[in-house]
């Protein structure tokens, strides 16, 4: 596992590089630091691993190299961003998911193995040591990566045209699916078009499954009446799905995400029937069908957002689901963590009682928010990326704090007009906490809302924790 270092008073990039035995450039790249000379107290930094490098010899295959280092071909491909295992060539230098560690005074095989999340037996085996071997300060030993699970990773994107394509290309090696959001259903059974062709081409080039998203709501309309109009009319429902299938075939989509929100409780069974209609129509054509689910914590949870979302039915009918475990820190609400781990956990604890674990993608937001204080009801917070959050912390010399309950970082600052602000964002600690939740409940994978907000630490940690499935 990668090391996460929380900046303390007096820390500099040079000091950290020397302490951890890596280059300053490696730390800067792993964290996307724009001004490495200015570190704010409380900033969580990923410390990259000094991986081994292997020079490919004539006649070597990736499988042979992987077996030599006791790793796997998928791990080698992911670490080196390879799309074809047969494409390696003599002289090529490949990173190997094993790195060296310099023994410090007081270290023991047990303490080292615990630190890096591997067994003592594997540590000894990899280094030709026995249980009676003594370690000396300054000694170099190899640390193999712990075994990784293979997971599915989806990302929604709301940016279209060539800009949307660039977003997909930037993280293509870390995605199983990408879902342009979205095709809005119309009262006549048609679908409002979107400019998704460049995004779909980028997906195909990156071996990503394109997933079409259809929805009933917009930024200006909750969609409750539209949902009722469609779901209560089997003929209109079938027309929506027929038009959806036509677009999927025309544009090369291979999966569908259904996102009905703010559905009237009276339309619960109608919604379930629509899901079954979708599966009956799309499965014979070879397509996957999924849904986005309101973040329920119990079967009987009240509210327009929740009641029509029947977790057991979605889990029984569909190939997989995306509980939308984010947006507690709503842009029009009071300041708080956007994806607090304690509330995410409550949703997943209920979800796994109603839906098979291998059908659940954990929802994860990748943006930050800045609220002006004191909060006035209805006042909109500013939404931006994690890098901007760090820029603001640096600019105002803020101290970043960490809420242990929500497992989320935040800070406060005063602007040039004398107004106080509160910023909640994500960092390496909070991302790792979400990945740990995914592992704890053995879920299918993770789904990001939404591309377009740079968060380099997330993608580095994702690759460190998992192998991303490519279909």
How far, in Å, CA of 199 to CA of 156, rounded?
A: 11
Phi, psi dihedrals of residue 306, rounded to the nearest 5°: -105, -40
Q: What's the rounded Cα separation, in Å, for the pair 52 and 94?
A: 8
Backbone φ and ψ for 292, nearest 5 degrees, come out as -100, 130
Cα gap 300→24, rounded to integer Å: 53
Distance CA 355, CA 318 (A): 10
Secondary structure (3-state) at 282: helix
> Which H or E run includes 183?
strand 183-184
Sheet strand arrangement including 408-414: 382-384, 368-373, 420-424, 408-414, 401-403
CA distances from 356 to 268, 284, 337 (A): 21, 22, 28
CA distance 2 to 448: 21
Query: What's the Cα-to-Cα distance from 220 to each of 95, 113, 184, 217, 435, rounded to whole Å?
Result: 49, 54, 12, 8, 34
Q: Give the residue from 303, 323, 226 showing the smallest Cα distance to 271.
A: 226
Rounded Cα–Cα distance for residues 127 and 112 (Å) = 13
Check if 34 is active-site. Answer: no
Is 353 strand, coil or helix?
A: helix
H or E segment to which residue 139 belongs? none
Check 167, 261, 307, 426 and give the catalytic one: 261
Alpha helices in 232-378 (DSSP H): 234-251, 268-282, 311-317, 341-354
What is the C-alpha separation between 79 and 238, in angstroms, rounded? 44
Angle at 425 between CA 382 and CA 468, to 5 degrees: 120
Burial of 36: CB neighbours in 10 Å, binned 0-12, 13-18, 19+? middle
- Length of the chain, please? 471
Determine if the peptide bond prior to 54 is cis (ω within 30°): no
Active site residues: 261
């Amino acid at each position: 596992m990668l090391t996460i270092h929380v900046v303390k008073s007096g820390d500099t990039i040079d000091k950290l590089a020397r302490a951890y035995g890596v280059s300053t450039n490696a730390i800067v790249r792993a964290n996307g630091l724009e001004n490495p000379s200015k570190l704010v107290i409380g900033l969580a930094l990923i410390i990259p691993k000094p991986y081994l490098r292997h020079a490919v010899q004539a006649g070597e295959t990736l499988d042979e190299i992987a077996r030599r280092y006791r790793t796997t071909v998928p791990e080698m491909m992911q670490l080196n961003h390879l799309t074809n295992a047969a494409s390696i060539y003599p002289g090529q230098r490949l990173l190997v998911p094993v790195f060296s560690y310099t023994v410090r005074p007081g270290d023991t095989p047990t303490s080292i193995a615990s630190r890096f999340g591997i067994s003592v037996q594997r540590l000894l085996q990899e280094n030709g040591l026995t249980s009676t071997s003594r370690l000396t300060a300054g000694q170099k030993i190899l640390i193999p990566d712990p075994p990784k699970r293979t997971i599915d990773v989806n990302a929604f994107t709301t940016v279209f045209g060539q800009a949307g394509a660039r977003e997909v290309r930037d993280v293509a090696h870390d995605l199983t699916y990408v879902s342009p959001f979205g095709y809005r259903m119309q009262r006549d059974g048609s679908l409002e078009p979107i400019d998704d062709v460049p995004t779909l081409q980028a997906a195909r080039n990156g071996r990503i499954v394109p997933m079409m998203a259809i929805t009933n709501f917009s930024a200006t309309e909750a969609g409750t009446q539209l949902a009722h109009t469609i779901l209560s009319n089997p003929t209109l429902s079938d027309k929506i799905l027929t038009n959806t299938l036509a677009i999927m075939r025309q544009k090369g989509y291979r999966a569908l995400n259904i996102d009905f929100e703010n559905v009237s409780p009276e339309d619960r069974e109608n919604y379930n029937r629509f899901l079954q209609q979708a599966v009956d129509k799309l499965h014979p054509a070879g397509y996957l069908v999924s849904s986005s689910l309101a973040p329920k914590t119990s079967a009987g949870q009240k509210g327009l957002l929740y009641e029509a979302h029947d977790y057991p039915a979605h889990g029984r009918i569909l190939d997989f689901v995306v509980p939308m475990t984010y947006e507690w820190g709503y842009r029009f609400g009071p300041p708080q963590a956007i994806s607090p781990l304690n509330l995410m956990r409550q949703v997943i604890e209920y979800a796994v009682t109603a839906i098979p674990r291998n059908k659940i993608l954990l929802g994860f937001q990748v943006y930050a928010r800045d609220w002006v204080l004191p909060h006035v009801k209805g006042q909109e917070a500013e939404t931006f990326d994690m890098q901007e959050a760090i820029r603001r912390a640096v600019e105002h010399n803020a101290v970043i704090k960490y809420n242990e309950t929500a497992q989320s970082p935040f800070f406060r600052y005063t602007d040039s007009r004398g107004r106080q602000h509160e910023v909640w964002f994500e960092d390496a600690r909070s991302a790792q906490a979400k990945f740990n939740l995914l592992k704890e409940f053995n879920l299918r994978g993770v789904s990001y809302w939404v591309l377009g907000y740079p968060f380099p630490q997330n993608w580095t940690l994702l690759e460190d924790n998992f192998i991303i499935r490519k279909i």
